[in-house]
A and B are shown apart, each in its own frame.
Chain A
Amino acid sequence: MEHLPLDARSVVEKLRAANLELSGDGPRSWVPTASFDALLEDGDVSPVALNDHLAWLHANCDIAKTLVPPEGGGVKTFAKRLIYKAVLAVLHPYLVKVQDSIAVTVRALDTVAARVDEQAAAQIRAIVAMRTDLVDLAAHVEKRREE
C-alpha cells in the first residue's frame, strides 16, 4: 500500500490549518438547527427555524463560491482575468471580512431562532402539564363528591 504508515494526527492538524486559512476568524462550531422540538411540529405557530428567509440565508450565505475567475479563452477573458486578479489582490482581506460577517450574522440569527423555539416548546409543555393537572384535579373533586 502506498504512503503507509499514515499519521492520523497530521491529517487532523492539516484539516484544521486549512480551515483557519479559508474561513478567517469566524467561529466554526455552528450548524443550522435542523431539528427542533417535536412538539412544535403540531403547534399553531410554525417554528422560527423553518422561516423561509432564514432558510434562504443558510443556502446563500457562502459568497466565496461567486468569487471564481472568469472562464474561457480569448483576449477579453484574459483582460477580465487580469482585472479579477488585480481587484482581488486589493480587496481580498475586505471580502474575507465580509464573508465572516455574513456567516456570523446567520449563526447569530440561528441561535436566536433556536432559543425562541425552545421557549415556545417549553411554554406548550407547561400548558400541557397544567391542563393534565387540572384534569386530575377535576377527577379528584368528582370522586370526592361521589364519596
Chain B
Amino acid sequence: MSRVVLVTARWGAEHGESGDVVRLLAGALAVRTEVEVVSLGTSGLSLATDAQVSTRRESVFTVHEVAGTTAESSQEGLLRIALAATDATRVPEIAGRRLVELQGGRAPRTAELICSLGAEAVVLAGPETWWLPGELQSLQSGLRVVSLPLLGDDPVAELGEFRPLLTQVGAVGVLSRAESRRLAGCSGAFGMPAVTELPAMTELDVAFAVNHSAAAQLMVGMSHFGRFVVLLTGFPEGTPGAPRSPGHDYVRRALGPIAVAEVGHGRWSVSDTTKARQVPVGPSRPNLWKLLSHAEVCLDLRPQGIVGRETLESLLLGTPVVVPEDTVAAEHAQRSNGGLWYRDFGELFDQARAILDDASLRERLSLQGRAWATEMHGDHGRFCEQAARFVLG
C-alpha cells in the first residue's frame, strides 16, 4: 500500500471548515493509502518540544507533531514586502492575519521528517505550509508534492508574492470555482503581470456525510411550532458569527405568520407570534440536520467559509437556502439552482418571502438542490477517487 504524508497546521485543533476539509481529505486518502499526518505547531494537547517530534496513533492515521510555529523565519522579508506593497483598501484584515500566520520561528526539522517517512506523495494543506515545497525538492528531488491552499474566496489568494511558492508543487487542489478564479487572477509582485504560471488546478468536490435517518426526527420541543425557517447566525461554535443581524424578533415579524428557529453561538432559540423558547439541546451537527430537514428555508447570515458546508448540508436535506451574494455558498446555490442569494437584508426578506409564499418554487428549489448536492457532494466513492487522483497523479 502506498504512503501519503499530509502536512497541515494544528491538526485536530482547528475550528471550522479548513479543519473539516483536511480531515475529510485524510479520510478519503486513507481508503487506498497509508496516511501519515505531520502537524505544524502544537494543538495544545501535544507534548512535543523544540527538541523532539511527538508521534502518536490516532484512528487510522499516524500523527507527527512538530513543535514551534508554522512558518520559516526566512519568509519575514517577503511578508513585509507583501504588506507594504499592497493597497490597504484591497486586502482586508483576514488577509493580514493570514500573512502574519505565515510569519514566525523555524520548524527546522519538518522537511527532514517528511522525507524520512518514505512517502510517495506529500499534500501541503493550508497557506501555513507554502514554504515547504522548495525545501522538500532540495532534499528529495522527484517527490510528488501537491498543495491544497484552503483559501476559498479570500483575496489573499491574489497576492502575487505567493505565486512562486505555489508554482513549485505538482498540482493545486481547489474547493470552489471562486477559489480557482482567485488563484488564476493572482497578479505579480507590485501589481505587475505574473511571470510564472500555476500548475494545473484540480477541482475537488468534498463529500459530506449527512445522516438522513437521524435528520428525519423532529427536534425536541419543535412539535409545538408549525412551519418554521432556520436562521443561521453562528455555527459551529468557535467560528465567526454574523457580524450584523437584524435580530430574531424583527426577522419573525418581517416574515409573517411563521416560526423562526435561530441557530446562534451558545444559544438556539425558536419563537412564533405567541411563544418563544430556548431549544434544550446541544449545538451539535446532528441537531442542526434535524432542524434543517424540517425547515421551509434556511436563511444564512454568517460569513461564509471555504466550502459552504452548512449550505451543502441544507441542500442535501432538500431545504432551499438564501445565502450572501459573492460567496462560496452563493456559488452552490447558483450551480444547484437550489437556493437564492442576497446583497442586503432587504433582499434577504424578499427572497425568503418569495420562497415561503410559493410552494411550487420551494419544491422546485428543493428538488434541484438535493439532486445536485447528492451527485456532487454526497458521493464518497467519487470524492475518494478524486482525492487519490489529485494526490497520486
| Chain A interface (Cβ < 8 Å from any Cβ of B) | 1-9, 11-12, 15-16, 19, 28-35
Contacts and interface: CB of A to CB of B under 8 A. Distances in A.
Interface in B124-151: none
Contacts of A1: 363-364, 367
A11 B355 CA distance: 10
Contacts of B170: none
B271 to A, nearest CB: 13
Contact of A19 (B245, B246, B350): B350
Given A9-B334, A15-B351, 13 more contacts: A1-B363, A4-B368, A5-B368, A6-B361, A8-B334, A8-B337, A8-B338, A8-B339, A8-B340, A15-B340, A15-B347, A19-B350, A35-B247
B254 interface: yes
Nearest to A36: B247
B237 interface: no
Given A8-B339, A9-B334, A16-B347, A31 B246 contact: yes
Interface string B353-384: 01000001101110110000000000000000
B270 to A, nearest CB: 17
Given A1-B363, A8-B365, A31 B346 contact: yes
Of all A-B residue pairs in the complex, the 3 with the closest CB atoms, nearest first, are A34-B247, A34-B250, A29-B344
Contact of B360 (A3, A19, A34): A3
Which secondary structure dominates where chain B touches chain A? Answer: helix
Interface residues of B, number: 31
B364 A3 contact: yes
A6 B340 contact: no
Contacts of A15: 340, 347, 350-351, 354
Contacts of B247: 33-35
A56 B345 CA distance: 21
Contact of A6 (B334, B347, B350, B364): B364
Contact of B346 (A12, A28, A33): A28
B341 interface: yes
11 contacts: A6-B361, A7-B337, A8-B334, A15-B340, A16-B347, A28-B347, A31-B254, A31-B349, A32-B250, A33-B247, A35-B250
Contact of B368 (A2, A6, A16, A35): A6
A8 B333 contact: yes
B249 interface: yes
Interface of B: 245-250, 254, 333-334, 336-341, 343-347, 349-351, 354, 360-361, 363-365, 367-368
B42 to A, nearest CB: 32
Given A34-B250, A35-B245, A5 B337 contact: yes
A108 to B, nearest CB: 16
A35 B245 CA distance: 8
Nearest to A29: B344
Contacts of A35: 245-248, 250
Nearest to A2: B360
B234 to A, nearest CB: 13
A3 B354 CA distance: 17
A29 B346 contact: yes
Contacts of A11: 340, 354, 361
Contacts of A2: 360
A12 B341 contact: yes
B242 to A, nearest CB: 11
A15 B341 CA distance: 11
Nearest to A9: B334
Contacts of B361: 6, 11
B351 A12 contact: yes
A11 B358 CA distance: 12
A3, A5, A9, A31: which has the most chain B beta carbons within 10 Å?
A: A31
B192 to A, nearest CB: 35
B205 to A, nearest CB: 19
A34 B246 contact: yes
A31 B250 CA distance: 9
B346 A4 contact: no
Q: Which of A2, A4, A8, A35 has the most CB of B within 10 A?
A: A8
Contacts of A12: 340-341, 351
Nearest to A14: B354
Contacts of B248: 34-35
